[in-house]
Amino acid sequence: MTSTAVQASSLPTSTSTVAINMDAIQASWLSQIVCKLPCWEGIRPGITQYEDALQTVRSLAYVEAASIVTTDIADGSVSTTWEWKGYSVGGGVSVENTRDGSIVRGVGLFFPETYYLRDVIAQVGEPEFVVAVASIPEHGGPLMSQIHLYNLTKGLSFLIRGDELNPEAGIWSMGLYAPTTLDSQPYWIWPNKEYVLQWEGFLGFGYYCRDGVEGRACDKAK
C-alpha cells in the first residue's frame, strides 16, 4: 500500500525553542488551517499510514516524547497514546490502526485547556446526533453523567463530562474518524447505536438521557 505523506503544522516542532501556547494549539485543531477535518496535523483517519502518523507525532513540540506508549488492543488493532507537554493529567491523544495495512482509523484529542461547546459549534456547526448517558455507581455516590455529540458526516465526536448541555459547556475531548453515516453503525458510537438521538438543540440533558436501567438514573438527572 502506498504510504501517505504527512505534513505537520507550522506550529513549533521538537527542535524549536519557542514557548508552547496550548490555548492557540488546541484552537488550531478545529480551525482547519493545517488540513480539513477530520484531519489533524496532516493525519487523516482511514488514509494515513500508522508509521507516518507516529513520525508526525514525534515531531510536535507540544507532545511529551517520553510519554509515547504503544499498546496492542484485543481486536487486533494498536493504540498509541501520549501526553501534552506540561499536562500529565487529562491531556493526551490516541491513534489507532486497523489490521488493513496499518491505516490510522481514529484520532483522539484531549483538550488541555478549557474549550467551550459554543466555540466548537462556531467552527464546525451543530452536531447531528447526541448520546446522553447517566449511571448510578454500584456502591453509591453521585450520579455519573456524560454527553457525546456526533457529526458523523464530518467524522467528529465530542465528549462533555457531566450533564451540562448548553453553549458554555466545556468539551473534554474530541475524536476524529473517517466520515460515515448512522446506518453504517460506526464502531465509535458509544455505548451503541440504540442510545443515539437526533440533535434538536439545547433541550437539556434530561431530554436526551438514556441509561439502560429502566430510566432510574435519567429520572434523577432531570
CA distances from 10 to 4, 61, 213 (A): 19, 11, 48
Q: Which residues lie closer than 8 Å to 148 by C-beta, 6 or more apart?
A: 130, 131, 132, 133, 157, 158, 159, 160, 189, 190
**For the chain, give me the number of helices (H) and strands (E)?**
5, 10
Q: Estimate the crossing angle of helix 22-31 against helix 117-124, to 10 degrees.
A: 40
Per-residue pLDDT of the chain (222 residues; tens, 9 = 90+): 333 334 444 333 333 444 688 889 998 999 888 899 999 999 999 898 888 888 998 999 999 988 988 887 766 677 888 899 988 643 444 555 555 567 888 899 999 889 999 999 999 999 999 999 988 777 767 778 899 999 999 999 999 999 999 999 999 999 999 999 999 989 889 888 888 999 999 999 989 998 755 556 676 555
Strands 104-110 and 156-161, how do they pair? unpaired
Residue with C-alpha cell 456502591? 139
- The pTM assigned to this predicted structure is 0.84
